[in-house]
């Protein structure tokens, strides 16, 4: 599964520019799905047909990044952040564009920079030279990476949410026999307001929807979340944007216990995922989420434990087959 994660994580896909990562995922799912479609928003839907309940799994394929807004006379590139970027951690790190232009994110700010105080430097000496590599509207992301640490822990970016996409691909491969009508949805523009999840859920009209994403942890200070890396995937109860179906939470816990899958309960006071958009689209549905505990979210050193990932694959597979 690490090789799958590498392929997904090293592929560009900032919000609104998901074409490259969408094509990479399409190649992975086509051999295992009965039908693969792309909707008007750019969401990718892999359908495994059945006659029973409509069960939809979703993971967002977009990542945080930048759009080039202006090329200055000195060759520096002004940018607009896309998604919840921590510019303190982002400054003075490498970036790469959708067209392969490499550079660094710089700032002249003395303290924490504002969005208008950062720029991308691709090494150009003037505007004319910069325009040979970058156009206004081009997208950039922080240089992707994945590095093995100790044991089953890895660090890199963007685990948010390529790890969720990898889990869905593995579940699609693993499902052997079920009457459920299964939809594996890879959504766009989650990082800028969970925009893609609502229309695709409206279209699918699932009875049950499960989002796969990352979640914050207590490992690096504080004790208010009760979630740790390496202690199992989480079953979301609530976050700042959604209260999950209690009936579904109980069933997910039951399946985890039956499958002897270690899990954690998730109560998140800040942040949200596609779960909220899935829950309220059209006539609504029973919605829940499985999350991967992740350290240092939205930085260049996001950290996960593959034990949690494997547990999430097993739990989501049980849900797909038996919910």
How many helices (H) and strands (E) the chain has is answered by: 9, 17
Q: Which of 115, 106, 104, 109 is nearest to 140 (CA)?
A: 104
266 part of the active site: no
How far is 209 from 183, CA to CA, in rounded Å?
9
C-alpha 37/C-alpha 28 separation (Å) is: 14
Write down the residue that tokens 């049950």 correspond to.
208
- For residue 232, the number of C-alpha atoms closer than 13 Å in the C-beta half-sphere is 18
Q: Helix H segments across the chain?
A: 2-9, 19-29, 87-90, 127-130, 159-174, 197-204, 246-258, 275-280, 306-322
> Which residue of the set 18, 170, 190, 302 is catalytic?
190
Ramachandran category for residue 92: left, alpha or beta (phi over 0 → left; psi -120 to 50 → alpha): left
Structure tokens at 217: 């942890």
The rounded Cα 207 to chain-centroid distance in angstroms is 23
The count of residues in the chain is 323
User: Which tokens go with 8?
Assistant: 């997904």
Q: What span, in angstroms and rounded, lies between the C-alpha atoms of 157 and 243?
A: 28
- DSSP string of 128-172, one letter each residue: HHHTTT--TT-EEEEPPEEEE-STTEEEEE-HHHHHHHHHHHHHH
Catalytic residues: 190
């Amino acid at each position: 599964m690490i090789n799958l994660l590498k392929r997904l994580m090293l592929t560009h896909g900032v919000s609104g520019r998901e074409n490259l990562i969408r094509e990479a995922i399409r190649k992975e799912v086509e051999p295992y799905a009965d039908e693969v479609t792309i909707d008007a928003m750019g969401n990718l839907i892999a359908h495994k047909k059945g006659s029973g309940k409509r069960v939809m799994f979703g993971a967002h394929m977009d990542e945080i990044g930048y759009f080039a807004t202006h090329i200055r006379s000195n060759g520096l590139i002004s940018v607009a952040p896309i998604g919840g970027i921590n510019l303190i951690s982002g400054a003075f790190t490498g970036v790469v564009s959708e067209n392969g232009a490499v550079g660094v994110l710089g700032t002249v700010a003395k303290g924490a920079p504002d969005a208008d105080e950062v720029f991308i430097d691709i090494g150009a000496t003037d505007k004319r030279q910069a325009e040979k590599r970058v156009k206004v509207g081009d997208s950039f992301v922080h240089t992707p990476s994945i590095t093995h640490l100790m044991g089953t822990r890895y660090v890199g970016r963007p685990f948010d949410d390529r790890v969720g996409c990898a889990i869905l691909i593995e579940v699609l491969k693993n499902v052997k026999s079920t009457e459920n009508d299964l939809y594996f949805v890879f959504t766009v523009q989650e990082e800028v307001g969970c925009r893609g999840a609502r229309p695709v859920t409206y279209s699918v009209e699932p009875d049950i929807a499960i989002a796969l994403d990352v979640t914050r942890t207590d490992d690096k200070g504080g004790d208010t979340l009760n979630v740790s890396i390496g202690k199992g995937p989480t079953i979301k109860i609530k976050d700042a944007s959604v209260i999950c179906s209690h009936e579904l939470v109980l069933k997910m816990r039951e399946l985890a216990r039956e499958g002897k899958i270690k899990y954690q309960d998730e109560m998140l006071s800040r942040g949200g995922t596609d779960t909220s958009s899935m829950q309220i689209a059209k006539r609504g549905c029973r919605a829940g989420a499985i999350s991967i505990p992740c350290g240092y979210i939205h930085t260049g050193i996001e950290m996960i434990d593959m034990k949690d990932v494997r547990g999430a694959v097993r739990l989501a597979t049980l849900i797909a087959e038996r919910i």
